[in-house]
Amino acid sequence: MKTSIIFFYFFIVLFSVSSCKKESNPATPNTNQSEFLEVIINGQKFYESKPFGLNVGTSVGNPNLCDNKLGIVAFHTTTQNNQFECNASLIHYRSNSDLSSISPGNFTLIDDWSRSFLNGVLPCNLTLEMKIYDNGESLVLLNNSIHKVTSISKITEIGNAVQYLIVGSFSGNYKNSSNANYSVSGNYSMLVEVFK
């Protein structure tokens, strides 16, 4: 009987250890990392971060891009104070085979992808949408904008999904309906998800 009890406890311990090994996932991103959005409007700095991978791949649309490939609009985050609100999204390829062949470089900055789409202008891959509101009024981006992607790093694969960390910077001038100008610049780190 004593041997059976010892064997039973040995089996429980062995089963617990093997169960822990099966549940661990070395491909899971490091939760100590974070995504962030930093925006500077006329010298006023805004910063927002969120846990790494929170709401990754949340697509708020599936537009056809300027090259007729399927894209996703991935909402990133919002930062605000009592005057300004900034909403960032990244439009990117939906397919891993399309996104994995892209290199860092210069891409487009826009103020509203849905307005562009309605005006017949299709966004391209890695277009950064930076919506800025001043006391609720949507600001319009002027033509002298810059969006530079500085790195694209593959983070993990989970089933059919592949996650990449996109890091970049942007700058441009916006205006309101009274033609007041706003100098805007910033940086971001954003996790996106594509599919095999």
Residues 6+ apart with CB under 8 A from 66: 122, 123, 124
Token look-up 């991935």 returns 74
Q: What residues pair up with 79 in beta bridges, in sequence order? A: 86
Tokens standing for residue 190: 């954003």
The length of the chain in residues reads 196
Q: Give, in order, the Cα–Cα distances in Å from 176 to each of 35, 151, 183.
A: 29, 32, 12
Of 165, 177, 143, the C-alpha closest to 57 is 165
Tell me what pLDDT residue 61 has. Answer: 57
Q: What is the per-residue pLDDT across 89-100, written as a single tens digit (0 to 9) for each?
A: 999 998 999 999
Ranking 17-21, 89-93, 115-119, 125-129 by mean pLDDT, the lowest is 17-21
Percent of the chain with pLDDT over 90: 44
Which residues in 6-33 are b (16+ Cβ under 10 Å) and which e? eeeeeeeeeeeeeeeeeeeeeeebeeee
d(CA 55, CA 57): 6
Task: Please state the pTM of the whole predicted model.
Answer: 0.77
Question: What pLDDT digit, counting tens, does each position of 14-63 carry?
Answer: 333 333 333 333 334 444 467 899 999 999 998 988 776 655 555 555 66
Residues 6 or more apart whose Cβ sits within 8 Å of residue 90: 73, 74, 76, 126, 127, 128, 129, 166, 190, 192
80: nearest Cα among 43, 117, 39: 39
- At position 63, the amino acid (one-letter code) is P
**130, two tokens:** 């930076």
